[in-house]
Structure 1
Amino acid sequence: MSEDDQNEARRNRRGDKHDGDENEAGTQEHDKRPSNEDDADDGKGADKDDEDQPEDDRSAKEKAADWLSTRNHKLIALAVLAILILAIIAGVLWWLEARKWKKTDNAYIRGPIARLSPGVAGNVTRVFVVDNQVVKAGQPLAAISVGSYDVAVRQAEAEHSAAEAAVLQAEAALVTARAQVRQAAAAARARDAEADVAARDYARYASLSQGAVAEAQRDRAAAQAKSARETAIAAAETTRALAARIGQARADIAAAKARVQQALANLANAKLRRGDAVVLAPIAGRVTQFDIEPGDYLAPGQPLAAIVGHARWVEANFKEDQLRLMRPGQPVELQIEAWNDFPLQGYVESFQAGSGAQFSALPPQNATGNWVKTVQRVPVRIRFRDDAFRNFPARADVVPGLSVNAAVKVMQ
């Protein structure tokens, strides 16, 4: 036996002896240990057994290859891979389609609303309609007492008649003035002729020698010539004075006609106020908020009722960053939440000239020190297509204020 073999044998003998001592000590300790520690020792023994089991030194790739070696595992892996590929494709397709649309649920049905109030004060005498009734344009809704307004109309009619009579009187005065002027002009011409005759007579007497005619006769001729001339001058003055009356008569006619126009205006106003005593529907639609009874007192400007017209459109409030590609005429898909099973088609009609905040009761003042940026919304008016309600429920009542989901297609 070689030296190496001898050394190996000695080491084995020492190891066996050491193991025997440990086993004996362990047996004694086990005998002294309480019975309730047996389970713990069993667990430690099991762990020791597990530790003694050989470790799996294969790599993850080898384990996966081993797992896929069976047919069922291969089918499961292929199914998971197909699902992942389909999910990726669906996500890409959804993104490509979703980027074409700008959506908002901040949209509502709108319609024309005419708010009524009486133009005159008085007590209600008759009520012709009830709340939520459909009416036509010009249909009477209620009547107010018209006694005082009838009196005003009759008074205006009397003033108009008096003004027209004043016009006739002024025109008659003009005719009279013209006749007087013609008469005065004729008299003035006669006086001029007489003055000319008297002047010629005096001239003949004056041309004679002093002995040929008496001095008294010459003086009489001179006095007659002078008197005739003064009379002619007075007649001319009278003619001019009467001609001035013609101008005055014309001015009186113009003033009388102006009073006629004023009387006509007063009469029209009185008739208008009497007409306002009957409240008429300005547009066709449905009456709402109509709660008056005969005997109620109404004052001008007091809210009386509202009429909702038949036209409908959608007001969608889009965020400012959604408007970059939005243009009038683009198609819109609409869905009224009350009838979400019936999609509707529309198109962008116009954009409000300013964000909604600018037209609020208290517009924001962003030039203050404490400023917080807020995404603004701009109202966009959307019209329904002509055949949008073709398949809509017949009894559906699309009233203003209903919530709508709107999606505008900004890309083809």
Structure 2
Amino acid sequence: MSNFLRSLATYVAAMIGIVGTLVVIYAWNLPPFKSSVEMTNDAYVRGQITLLSPQLAGYIIDVPVQDYQIVRRGDLIAQIDDRIFAQKLEQARATLTTAEASLANSEQSKKSAEAKILSAKASVESANAGLEASRAAFGRSSELRAKNIASQSEVERDRAAFDQAQAAVHQAQAQALIAEQDLSTIIVGRKSLEANVQSAKASIRLAEIDLANTRIVAPRDGQLGEVTGRVGQYVSAGTQIALVVPDHVWVVANFKETQVADMHAGQAVSFTVDALKNQKFIGRLERFAPATGSEFSVLKADNATGNFTKIAQRIPVRLAIDPGQAMLEKLVPGMSVVATIDVSQTAAGTTKAGG
């Protein structure tokens, strides 16, 4: 009887060992239990969380929203006191008016200078005509003096008139040259005045932008996180006012490097969400991260040491979520999920033959 019991105990121990070995092989997904389905619980819902902050400094005078409120694009989140910026806009507009008036005055000065040039040219022509007349008179009196018909005083008088006519021509020519230089000065100065007008317009645009920036609005549809801005709070550029979480979410699943060999973009995926009682969702594999997760860490491990233990790295994989599914609106960034991919399927989502 004792031999029988010993044999029975030996058989039981052997069976327990075999069953334990099979359980370990199955748990580690090793042959003959290796499956084409790859799974990871290192996966989370992700979304584009936008931090709202002002671009300028001032006191908050209104915060019309509350924590976790649904907002639409353009909804007011916080209002900064805009009195100073409104006055800066009025000041910029006044500067533009002054610059435009100076430019208009320059245009009138240009027309006046052009008229002075025409007048100076007419004076030159008149002086030339007088010069010709005095030259003729001086020539006649000189001929008559040579014949003792005219007196010497008449010749001297005509000579003086001729000299005065020559001086008048020179003076008229100088006046014409001065008028032309005045026109050139006005034209050159006009470039500066035009630049002043453009600068004043740019100042108005900047003032309008600053005034608009006193209104901190939602950049897109979504739900607010905690609203940290308070009425009466002094804020500066970069101060956190609130967080906006858009409706669009996706999943980032971190698979081991030994799991991704047969994964391709477009493959169908499924995942369950812990927070929703393991509600199942379906989607598609979108793309792979360009490096393993350890490469993106702030403090990277240095494996160049005397003792080394090989650890399978994880590669982040982005999973798109198919629209129109039940409870999809309850997915929020940060939720833990368990993602599953059948790698026997092709990129189009169909299962390979024999897979």
Give the TM-score normalised by structure 2.
0.80
Q: Deviations over 1:186-241 (max 9, x none)?
A: 11121122223323444455566723544443344343333322321221221121
* Greater RCO, 1 or 2 (C-alpha within 8 Å, sep 6+): 2
Q: What per-residue deviation string (whole Å, max 9, x for no partner) do you get for residues 292-327 of structure 1?
A: 332222222111110000001111222333333322
Is the counterpart of residue 398 in structure 1 residue 331 in structure 2?
A: yes
Tell me if 1:310 matches 2:247: yes
AA of the residue aligned to 2:70: V
Aligned to 1:376: 313
Amino acid of the structure 2 residue aligned with 1:175: K
What is the percentage of aligned positions where both structures have the same residue? Answer: 27
Whole-angstrom distance in 1 between the partners of 2:187 and 2:225: 58
Aligned to 2:191: 254
Q: Does 2:272 align with 1:339?
A: no
| 8 A contact 1:107–1:317 mirrored in 2 | yes
Distance in 2 between residues matched to 1:365 and 1:236, nearest whole Å:
89
Deviation at 1:277, TM superposition (A): 1.8
The one-letter code matched in structure 1 to 2:73 is A
2:95 alignment counterpart = 159
Structure number, greater radius of gyration: 1
Against the structure 1 CA distance between its residues 202 and 343, is the aligned structure 2 distance closer, same or farther, given a 3 Å change threshold?
A: same
Contact 1:124 1:144 in 2 (8 A): yes
Match of 1:224 among 141, 161, 164: 161
Matches within 5 A, 1:166-185: 166-185=102-121
How far, CA to CA, are the matches of 1:410 and 1:97 in structure 2? 15
Partner SS state of residue 106, structure 1: strand
* C-alpha separation in 2, matches of 1:231 and 1:334: 103
2:85 aligns with: 149
In 2, distance between residues paired with 1:163 and 1:189? 39
Equivalenced residues, count: 319
For residue 229 of structure 2, give the secondary structure of its aligned residue in structure 1.
coil
Aligned mate of 2:63, from 127, 139, 146: 127
1:321 alignment partner, SS class = coil
Structure 1: tracts of 5 or more residues without a match: 1-83
Distance 2:47 2:153 in 1: 109
Q: Which of 358, 363, 374 is 2:295 aligned to?
A: 358
Match status 1:326 vs 2:259: no
Deviation, 1:158, is 1.7
Q: What is the DSSP-based 3-state SS (H/G/I as helix, E as strand, rest coil) of the residue aligned with 1:343?
A: strand
Partner of residue 301, structure 1: 238
**Aligned position for 1:13:** none
- Residue of structure 1 equivalent to 2:124: 188
Shift of 1:167: 1.4
Partner of 2:42, secondary structure, is strand
Which residue of the other structure, out of 245, 267, 287, is the alignment partner of 2:182? 245
Which structure has more helix as a fraction of its residues?
Answer: 1
The 10-residue stretch of structure 1 (132-141 or 377-386) with the greater mean CA deviation from structure 2: 377-386
Q: Which residue of 2 aligns with 1:113?
A: 49
Instruction: Report the AA paired with residue 358 of structure 1.
Output: E
Match of 1:386 in 2: 323
- Structure 1 equivalent of residue 14 of structure 2: none
* Equivalent position to 1:198, from 134, 141, 145: 134
Matched, 1:274 2:211: yes
1:114/1:283 contact within 8 Å kept: no
- Secondary structure at 1:322 match in 2: coil
Query: Helix, strand or coil for the counterpart of 2:279?
Result: coil
Cα distance in 1 between the residues matched to 2:155 and 2:136? 12
- Do the aligned partners of residues 220 and 370 (structure 1) sit closer, same or farther apart at CA in structure 2, a change above 3 Å counting? farther
Give the drift of 1:175.
1.7
Name the amino acid aligned to 2:174: E
Inter-partner Cα distance in structure 2 for 1:96 and 1:209: 144
What is the one-letter code of the residue matched to 1:303? Answer: Q
**8 Å CA contact retained: 2:52, 2:242:** yes
Q: What is the TM-score with the length of structure 1 in the denominator?
A: 0.69
In 2: Cα distance, 1:248 partner to 1:363 partner: 68
SS of the residue corresponding to residue 258 of structure 2 reads helix
Matched, 1:410 2:347: no
Q: Which amino acid aligns with 2:162?
A: A
Cα distance change, pair 207–380 in 1 and its aligned pair in 2 (3 A): farther
Secondary structure of 1:272's counterpart equals: helix
